[in-house]
Amino acid sequence: MRTWILVAGMTAALASEAPGQSLLKEGFDDGNRDGWYLTSGGEATIIDDAAGLGSGKALALATHAGSSQRRLLANFKAVELSKPGDAIVLRFDYRITGNPDASRGRGDAEGGFRFGFFDSKGTLQTADVPKGPTSANAADDVGYLAMVSAGAPKRARLIADTAEDQNFMGGTDLQYLQTDDNFGGIDDSLKHSAVFTIKRVSGTAMSVELDLDGKKSIRAEVTGALRSRFDEVGFAASHRAADLVVDNIEVTAGGSASPSTSAAGAPAVQARCQPCTIEVGKDTVLTAEVRDAGNHPVTYQWSASTGKFSDPTARQTSWTGPMRKGWSEERWRGGGGVPITVTIDDDRGGTATHTVTVDVVRPAGN
């Protein structure tokens, strides 16, 4: 059973509460989108949007030839909303580029912009999937999201994604928790600010809330089968709806909803590759980015089923991709993605792992 409560035309209480511990903060000032992965099509690029959002560099999410889907996510250290008052909050700025009504069907515009929190269920995204269906890593993800119309429609929705149809932030498995057809869609290319909050209300209820520009809010209270664990934030555009620019993204946890900790906080790690596609026998640079370790020393251990590390115990190391020997003809013809894992250990018994996939491809002309 679900109980729905609509709050419109006001700034909601949840949006103004103290956010607590920062889990993710991204302004794209370094000019890259490391850690932000496409899960089904589109293009994600860093642009200078000082004239639009007014804060320099930002992330643009657009379509490309051969794909109409744009779905993007980033990982953060998992939190559990287990006690009343526990909350997780997403704050960001965004704008729609171009004319959101031009040559677009009403259905596309109504589903224009989607964003929310998800549980990866242990299958974190580690690389782009620029074409085709939702990646296997994101297909089983569940969580809660908001939808704001792009263009003439004025609809806003709060939604539960149950992953029953293996379609991340879309498909037939979306359960509409609350709908407001007079919320007011975004039919301009100006800067807007959003706050999306999930909060544990009681042992049997959660609240999901969207606040837009501090002027409009929609809220649902959910009972029954609750989602309370989150380790991903996602953004999506629906089919041919207008392209998007997002910036100044921050995820915070409040109440007791902080990541799993040891005495002074356990570490977290993100593995990165540069480049992430190499020819056989060539090198890539791997880097482990650690947070929440404080001033405690951290040891590193890189591992892979094949290839060679220059130093498997360094924070940053090079890895040489394997040659053809030992590969099946099928794998050679299609190239091969090699998962590479880094494990870190602090001096307090805290450990963390993360895996990145490096695509190893046939040399050009062979």
pLDDT of residue 331: 52
- Residue 259 in domain: no
Cα torsion at 211, 212, 218, 224 (round to 10°)? -50
pLDDT in tens, 92-128: 999 888 655 544 444 445 667 899 999 988 888 888 8
What's CA 146's distance to the chain center, in Å? 14
Do 139 and 171 fall into the same domain?
Answer: yes
Question: What is the pTM assigned to this prediction?
Answer: 0.67
Domain boundary pick from 193, 225, 254: 254
Whether 170 shows a pLDDT value over 50: the answer reads yes
Say if residue 161 is in the same domain as residue 22: yes
Query: Which three-class secondary structure state does DSSP give residue 293?
Result: coil
* Helix/strand/coil for 68: coil
Say whether both 207 and 345 belong to one domain.
Answer: no
Let me know whether 107 and 198 are in one domain: yes
Q: Assess whether 124 and 198 both reside in one domain.
A: yes
Q: Which residues pair with 92 in a beta bridge?
A: 194
DSSP helix/strand/coil, 319: strand
Pairing relationship of beta strands 351-361 and 277-279 according to DSSP bridges:
parallel
Q: What is the CATH number of the domain that holds 198?
A: 2.60.120.200
- pLDDT for res 238: 67
Residues 318 and 183 in one domain: no
Question: Do the beta carbons of residue 58 and residue 52 sit within 8 Å?
Answer: yes
Interval 57-87: pLDDT, tens: 999 988 755 555 678 899 998 898 988 999 9
Q: Which CATH number goes with the domain that contains 338?
A: 2.60.40.1080
Is position 7 within any domain? no
pLDDT number for residue 203: 87
Q: Are 239 and 277 found together in one domain?
A: no
Any residues with CB less than 8 A from the CB of 173 and at least 6 apart, and which?
A: 161, 162, 163, 164, 165, 167
Would you place residue 17 in the very low, low, confident or very high pLDDT band (cuts 50, 70, 90)?
very low
pLDDT at 8: 33
Residue 300 sits in the same domain as residue 238:
no
Can you tell me the distance from the alpha carbon of 249 to that of 290, in angstroms, rounded to the nearest whole number? 19
Q: Is residue 1 part of a domain?
A: no
Q: Are residues 134 and 29 in the same domain?
A: yes
Which of 254, 277, 297 represents a domain boundary (last residue)? 254
Let me know whether 187 and 109 are in one domain: yes
CA 12 to CA 15: how far, in whole Å? 6
What residues make up the domain containing 193?
Answer: 13-254
Residue where one domain finishes, among candidates 254, 281, 298: 254
pLDDT band at 292 (very low <50, low <70, confident <90, very high): low
Least confident residue range of 101-105, 230-234, 301-305: 101-105
Total domains in the fold of the chain: 2
CA–CA gap between residue 328 and residue 292 (Å, rounded): 42
Asked whether residue 308 falls in the same domain as residue 237, the answer is no
* Mean per-residue pLDDT, 243-267: 72
- 111 CB-near residues (< 8 Å, 6+ apart): 147, 149, 170, 238, 239, 241
302: left (phi over 0), alpha (psi -120 to 50) or beta: beta
Condensed to tens digits (0 to 9), the pLDDT of residues 316-366 reads 999 998 876 555 544 555 445 788 999 888 766 667 888 888 888 877 666
Regarding whether 176 and 137 lie in a shared domain, the answer is yes
